[in-house]
């Protein structure tokens, strides 16, 4: 995973990879890891656990720690709707809903991840950072015209101004690129 996967947007942690591309790539990696696990590769089960956490994070626009906690709760309870503690909040014990996607099998067939740090290191090893996963989904939902206030509630952003600013910056960059480049993919002579 090189090239576009390794690029980082100036001034952010985000690498600007589209949600659809990330989703397809993670599902492909999950399928490969499942096949390898069935063949008896020991590392494939660890990889699979890490991929499941990253996929939960992507689908829910969650922080990686929230996705990790949700996955562990899913393994224990088997419930696909899980409430987890929100990170980055100093006030009280705020919680948010995380929904385990249907692409993740029943808990008895799921491996347990080693640790949150292992998931983060794994993400780096495949050319991602966890911030990219969260904001790819937020950007996708914004493009689908989901109101920023709903996005803020869903993702538990404390200050909606930051979320709106992020969305506007991405939209402005895309608009500028469309205006300058037009529909042409090749440079004009």
pLDDT digits (tens, 9 = 90+) for 143-176: 888 888 888 878 776 677 777 777 777 778 778 8
User: What are the residue ranges of helices labelled H in the chain?
Assistant: 19-38, 42-60, 64-77, 116-125, 130-143, 148-155, 160-181
- Residue 137 DSSP one-character state: H
Question: Residue 21: its pLDDT value, please?
Answer: 94
Which residue is associated with the tokens 């929230």?
66
User: What are the residue ranges of helices labelled H in 102-159?
Assistant: 116-125, 130-143, 148-155
Q: In Å, how far are 120, 141, 149 from 67, measured between CA atoms?
A: 12, 18, 22
| Res. 37: pLDDT tops 80 | yes
Question: Residue 179: its pLDDT value, please?
Answer: 82
Q: Which residues of 151-167 are buried (b: 16+ CB within 10 A; e: fewer)?
A: bbebbbbeeeeebbebb
User: Structure tokens of 19?
Assistant: 């949600």
For residues 11-23, give the mean pLDDT: 76
Question: Residue 9: its pLDDT value, please?
Answer: 44
pLDDT digits (tens, 9 = 90+) for 75-131: 999 999 999 988 765 666 788 899 999 999 999 989 999 999 999 999 999 989 888
């Amino acid at each position: 995973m090189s090239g576009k996967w390794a690029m980082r947007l100036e001034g952010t942690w985000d690498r600007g990879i589209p949600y659809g591309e990330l989703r397809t790539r993670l599902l492909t990696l999950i399928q490969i890891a499942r096949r390898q696990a069935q063949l008896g590769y020991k590392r494939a089960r660890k990889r699979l656990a890490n991929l499941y956490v990253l996929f939960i994070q992507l689908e829910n626009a969650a922080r990686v720690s929230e996705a990790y906690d949700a996955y562990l709760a899913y393994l224990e309870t088997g419930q696909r709707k899980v409430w987890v503690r929100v990170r980055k909040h100093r006030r009280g014990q705020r919680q948010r809903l995380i929904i385990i996607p249907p692409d993740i099998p029943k808990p008895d067939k799921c491996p347990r991840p080693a640790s949150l740090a292992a998931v983060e290191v794994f993400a780096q090893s495949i050319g991602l950072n966890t911030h990219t996963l969260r904001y790819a989904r937020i950007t996708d939902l914004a493009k689908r015209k989901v109101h920023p206030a709903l996005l803020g509630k869903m993702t538990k952003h404390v200050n909606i101004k930051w979320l709106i600013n992020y969305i506007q910056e991405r939209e402005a960059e895309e608009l500028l690129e469309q205006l300058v480049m037009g529909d042409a993919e090749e440079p004009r002579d």
